[in-house]
Structures are given as structure tokens and as C-alpha cells.
Amino acid sequence: MDTPVNILAIVGSYRKAGIIERAVDEILSAAGKAGAVTRKITLIDKNLAFCTNCRSCTQVAGDHFGVCVLDDDMTSLLQEVNHADAIILASPMNAGTVTAVMKTFIERLVCTAYWPWGAPGPKARRPEKSKRAVLVASSAAPGIIARLTGDVTKRLESAANMLGAKTIGTLFIGLAAQQQHQELSKRIIIKARKLGQKLAVHN
Ligand SMILES: Cc1cc2nc3c(=O)[nH]c(=O)nc-3n(C[C@H](O)[C@H](O)[C@H](O)COP(=O)(O)O)c2cc1C
């Protein structure tokens, strides 16, 4: 029998039980019922400092993520990503892009690149995409408008790439700020469950 798929969700919403967290919970619950092992990390609960742009973490070659000079929760977060077969990256769209806490996490992913001084740009340490990713985003605007005017899914997909994950699905929830505690629509719940079931199966 296959070992269960290990799924890690990284949530960049500021609201507990907001639309993003509830959508992620639907995905994880469906994945869990389909046999996956799941875990959710909410970034606001973590101690995550801003990248200092020192680029210490990018100087040494190799496929191990570079070591950051900052001593906070990023190291353990990346260890959890390393153990995962699949990841979920989730963020509301704020001011046209991912939330500041998700952006902080994404900037810290510079350690996933080799970029010594003198090199023109960063080179991915893990260009192969051995993991799978699902992206979850939400907006006050209708989904189609938000996707045209903002870059939240682009930012999340690029983060997934940096973590060695190929995006296999996106759940975008438009019109997500009509009520303080808005319910997920039936359509979104069905899509979330399908994504969970898809993630729970090995490649
Ligand atoms: C500071 C702030 C900025 C926002 N910016 C946008 C935006 O640019 N476009 C948009 O469609 N919705 C915007 N929204 C609405 C959020 O996307 C919406 O509240 C969120 O998707 C709900 O997710 P949550 O329930 O997990 O908090 C903004 C909300 C806040 C509080």
C-alpha cells in the first residue's frame, strides 16, 4: 500500500475562520478523508521577520535551501515544506496582491535560490518540480476582475515554484467580502473537495 500523501497548507489570511481558512479547511478535510495526512500553518501565528536583503542565504551553491541569518520560524516552516508531498498556498487579495504576511514569507524564499554576488540573477536550487501545489485566493471583487487586475495567483504560483512545487489547481473565490462571516458557496465547496481529493492521490 502507498504511504499517505503528506499535505501542508500555508495560510496567509489575517482572519481565523475567514473565507480563505474555511476554503483551505474544505480542501484539507476532503484530502484527509481520501487518506492524506494534513497540516495547516497560519502565518500570522508564526514569528516571521522581514528579509534583510543581506543575501547570505544565497551565497553557497547546492540543492539545500540556504541558511538565513535570522533566527525565527522560517527554518522550521521550510523543514515542514521539505517533508510535504504537496502544499496549499492561500491568501486573500489585499491591495491587488497577496497579504503582507504572505509577501513576507515569499521574500524569505530567496534562500531557495543560488545567487552569489556577481551573478546577474537568482537560480533555483530545485528546478525540478517534485511536489504539487494548490493555490487558494479570495477577493471582494468578482473573481474574473480580481484575476485580471491583481497578481495574487501569480505571486502564489511563483512561491510554489520556488518551493519545488508544480501548481495543479487554483481555487479563486471572488465576491468574498459581502458579509463579515461569509459562507462558502456550494460551487466553491465542490471545487475545494475535488482539489483535496486530487491532492490526496500520489502522482
Ligand atoms: C486592507 C484590505 C485590502 C483589500 N484589497 C482588496 C483588493 O485590492 N481587491 C479586492 O478585490 N479585495 C480586496 N480586499 C478584500 C479582501 O480580499 C477580502 O476581505 C478577503 O478576500 C477575505 O478573506 P478572509 O475572509 O480570509 O479575510 C481587501 C481587504 C482589505 C481588508
Q: DSSP readout, 175-192? A: S--SSTTPPPPHHHHHHH
Pocket test for ligand 1, best of 10, 21, 93, 178 (most atoms within 8 A of CB): 93
| Global pTM value | 0.97
Handedness of CA 154, 156, 162, 163 (dihedral sign): negative
Q: Per-residue pLDDT averaged across 73-97, rounded?
A: 98
* Closest residue by Cα to residue 7 from 28, 29, 30, 33: 28
Q: What fold is seen in the domain 6-199?
A: Rossmann fold (3.40.50)
Whether the per-residue pLDDT at 200 is higher than 70: the answer is: yes
| pLDDT bucket at 2, cuts 50 / 70 / 90 | confident
Give the CA diameter of the chain: 52
Q: CB of 160 within 8 A of CB of 135?
A: yes
- Could you report the per-residue pLDDT of 100-133, keeping only the tens digit for each? 999 999 999 999 999 999 999 999 998 899 999 9
Please give the number of the atom of ligand 1 that sits closest to the Cα of 95. 8
Helix (H, G, I), strand (E, B) or coil at 39: strand
CA–CA distance, 143 with 173 (Å, rounded to integer): 6
Please give the number of the atom of ligand 1 that sits closest to the Cα of 138. 21
Task: Tell me the CA–centroid distance for residue 152 and ligand 1, in Å.
Answer: 11
Q: What is the pLDDT of residue 82?
A: 96
- Could you report the per-residue pLDDT of 163-188, keeping only the tens digit for each? 999 999 999 999 999 999 899 999 99
Sheet bearing 131-138, strands edge to edge: 37-42, 6-11, 86-92, 131-138, 165-173
Whether the per-residue pLDDT at 76 is higher than 70: the answer is: yes
* Closest residue by Cα to residue 94 from 52, 135, 139: 139
Please give the number of the atom of ligand 1 that sits closest to the Cα of 137. 21
CA–CA distance, 6 with 114 (Å, rounded to integer): 27
Please give the number of the atom of ligand 1 that sits closest to the Cα of 141. 11
Cβ(15) – ligand 1 distance below 6 Å:
yes
Pocket test for ligand 1, best of 139, 173, 185 (most atoms within 8 A of CB): 139
Per-domain residue ranges of the chain? 6-199
- Could you report the per-residue pLDDT of 134-157, keeping only the tens digit for each? 999 999 999 999 999 999 999 999
Q: What is the pLDDT of residue 1?
A: 62
Protein residue whose Cα sits closest to atom 30 of ligand 1: 94
Q: What is the pLDDT of residue 124?
A: 95
